[in-house]
Chains A and B, each alone.
Chain A
Amino acid sequence: MDPYKVLGVSPSASDDEVKRAYRDLARKYHPDNYVDNPLADLAKEKMQEINDAYDTIMKQRQNGGSSSGGQSYTQQGGYSGSYGGYSGTNAGIYNQVRNAINVGNIGMAEELLSRISQRDAEWHYLRAAVCYRKGWFDEAMQEINQACTMAPNNAEYRRMQSMLSNSSAYGGYRPMQQNDAMDCCTQLLCLNCLCSCCGGGGGC
């Protein structure tokens, strides 16, 4: 596929325009937006496509003598959402639950969890993961809060709790609720922050 089409820019676009288009798309399809999402595989494909397109264009341009372009995002870890590090009485069955979640078999994970009568922190944590994947965001929140209350020192539970409870849970989705002058300023500020974050950390 034409790499320019993938990025949605014309072949005559400047390097900066290509970079900006790439950055916008990469932010949209970034694996962080698809953590524990049943469509994560499709997002990964899309991200790969965008990365390839960007690399192709930048290579072409470098060979053609224009200025250098920088590198595409590399896939980061934490994408497959693996759960681990538990060693209790139910370790065996929790392992099966984790495997089921990781391969996306949510029905099976749910079934396995429902069979366990002794519900400890790990149980609530795994159930939170199951609820989250199903889009049951309120119950996911309740379960992870429960897990954190029962095991306040578990870093893994805390991570999930903070991921679910603030607006980073929306990923690349930016709801613009009101469009008055005040909000416009806030948005510019936010955009500014975002751009500097991305420029600093994303390597583009």
Chain B
Amino acid sequence: MFGFVRPLRGELKVREWERFQSVYCGLCHTIRSHYGLLQTVMHSYDCTYLALVLCALEEEGGSCKKRCIMHPLRRRTCAAESNGMRRAAAVSVILTWHKLEDTVHDEHGLKRLGARALQFLLRRGYRRAARDLPGFDTRTRACLDELGQLERQKTASLDRPADAFARILRAAVANYSADSRILEEMFYHTGRWIYLIDACDDVAEDFGSGNYNPVILRWQLTQPSVEPVKEAMNHTLLQSLAASYHAYVLLRPYRDAGIIENILCQGLPEVTRQVLDGTFTNHGGKNRHGSL
């Protein structure tokens, strides 16, 4: 997705941060063993969050030490493969594929060519993932088609396009476990937040290029900045986070509640603040994936 979902690292305990990293590594290994090494190039923290939540609901949760290309010298602790891990892995691969498809559709020149080439390389892994989660694949495609249509119609609404996107995340956890109802609600609201925060982050760029941006259209912005509607956007974004949180607290996680609460109550509000202030940097900071 977009790399907006992150913990606020300064507020995590050291062992929590290590655990988060081990889930990240564990997911990477799961993707690699099921769908091929190449699929891991687009691996991000967004799906790690999904894996973290799904694994927290499983009674058993172990870890192991593994080596990988990024860390060839020292073996790193990885969260063990499980149902939740496999679900998150398939979701990650399918989302990556559709994101590339979007790029092929929307971009021109080198970017398009690059996306096509990458798609060619990733096609087998994608087919396997789509076979493992056929419902999610079709629903993602349908939602993205709907989203494309709303974009072409220049829909001046925040909620309509956000809804089409959020339903993708809802589908990602559908029919997963007895808690699906709660999970679907939790990830729907996270999805709305991701879509809208991404739109806020793109305001300046889209204002220049004339690309579709729901925030610009909804507020009829006359300058390339989200500044005049900061308060209103902050409110509507935090409402989604609050709804996601109220769903989350109904789950009974076996572990990692501290990390998940950090992400929901600190990491995401902090990202919200940074994006609205214009101080957000996607891959900046100490970490490759830009933890806060």
Q: Which residues of A contact B (CB under 8 A)?
A: 28-29, 33-34, 37-39, 42-43, 46, 131, 134-139, 141, 165, 167, 169-179
Contact = CB atoms under 8 A, between A and B. Distances in A.
A172 B246 contact: yes
10 contacts: A39-B182, A43-B246, A131-B159, A135-B243, A137-B239, A173-B241, A174-B265, A175-B272, A177-B270, A177-B273
B259 to A, nearest CB: 15
Contacts, number: 88
B10 A169 contact: no
A136 B246 contact: no
A177 B218 CA distance: 26
Prevailing SS type, chain B contact patch: helix
Nearest to A164: B239
A169 B185 CA distance: 17
B265 A139 contact: no
Q: Which 10 A-B pairs have the closest CB atoms?
A: A175-B269, A136-B159, A173-B242, A170-B242, A137-B239, A138-B158, A173-B245, A139-B159, A138-B236, A177-B269
A17 to B, nearest CB: 19
A39 B250 contact: yes
A37 to B, nearest CB: 7
A180 to B, nearest CB: 11
A175 B8 CA distance: 12
Given A170-B239, A175-B269, A29 B182 contact: no
Interface of B: 8, 10-11, 157-159, 162-163, 166, 181-182, 185, 188-189, 192, 218, 235-236, 238-243, 245-247, 249-250, 265-266, 268-270, 272-273
A172 B239 CA distance: 11
B238 A176 contact: no
A80 B64 CA distance: 48
B221 to A, nearest CB: 15
A171 B242 contact: yes
A171 B235 contact: no
A141 B265 contact: no
A178 B273 contact: yes
A135 B189 contact: yes
Given A175-B269, A177-B273, A169 B247 contact: no
B4 to A, nearest CB: 15
A177 B240 CA distance: 15
Nearest to B191: A135
Contacts of B247: 39
Contacts of A33: 246
Max count, chain B CB within 10 A of own CB: residue among A29, A46, A136, A176: A136
Contacts of A43: 246, 250
A37 B265 contact: no
Given A170-B238, A173-B245, A177-B270, A136 B181 contact: no
Contacts of B181: 39, 42
Which residue, A38, A39, A170, A175, has most C-beta atoms of chain B within 10 A? A175
B235 A169 contact: yes
Determine which residue in A33, A138, A169, A173 has the highest number of CB atoms from chain B within 10 A of its CB, and name it. A138
A28 B246 CA distance: 8
A179 B11 contact: yes
Given A170-B241, A177-B272, A179-B10, 11 more contacts: A39-B181, A43-B250, A134-B163, A135-B243, A136-B162, A138-B159, A170-B239, A175-B241, A175-B265, A178-B273, A179-B11
Nearest to A33: B246
Nearest to B214: A138
Contacts of A169: 235, 239, 242
A139 B196 CA distance: 14
A167 B269 CA distance: 14
Given A134-B163, A177-B269, A37 B246 contact: yes
A44 to B, nearest CB: 11
A69 B56 CA distance: 34
Contacts of A170: 238-239, 241-242
Indicate the member of B10, B241, B242, B269 with the most A CB atoms within 10 Å. B242
Nearest to A46: B250
A112 to B, nearest CB: 19
A174 B10 CA distance: 18
B238 A175 contact: yes
Given A39-B182, A134-B163, A176-B266, A139 B238 contact: no
A135 B188 contact: yes
A37 B239 CA distance: 12
Nearest to A169: B239
Contacts of A173: 238, 241-242, 245-246, 265
